[in-house]
Amino acid sequence: MAVALQVESSMIANGDSDVHVVVAEGELDIATLGALQGKLDALVDGTGRRVLVDLGALEFIDSPAIAALYHASASFAHVAVVVPADSQVARTLEICGMHEMLPIFHDRGEALRALA
């Protein structure tokens, strides 16, 4: 049974800058991608925003969703993607070679430090 995608966004202070956090949980595929894409698109404003995409509770990701993450990363001056090292999503991103194209971190603290 498919797990519905839940997407939430918030902002946290991180040193001298704010970081916009987008959290996705459930399954991210072509059918649910619009929810995440909408949150990311709403943050694009050309001001060099810092965005952390937390996929820690994501159970599945497909290739259109991976492509959307890659394209979204080009829209922000600073982006970090959080994926637990032992997750299926991390394995999928590694197989696709995305660990070489996206700034992927295994915990939120590490990602926030990189975005400071």
Superfamily of domain 6-115: STAS domain (3.30.750.24)
Distance CA 18, CA 58 (A): 24
Handedness of CA 110, 75, 71, 43 (dihedral sign): positive
pLDDT tens digits, residue range 15-39?
777 899 999 999 999 999 999 999 9
Residue numbers in the chain where pLDDT is lower than 50? 1
* Domain coordinates in residue numbering, the chain: 6-115
Q: Which two tokens stand for residue 17?
A: 């800058």
Q: Kindly report whether the global pTM for this prediction surpasses the value 0.75.
A: yes
Q: SS3 for 65?
A: helix
Quote the pLDDT of residue 2.
54
Helical segments of the chain, H only? 33-43, 63-73, 88-95, 108-115
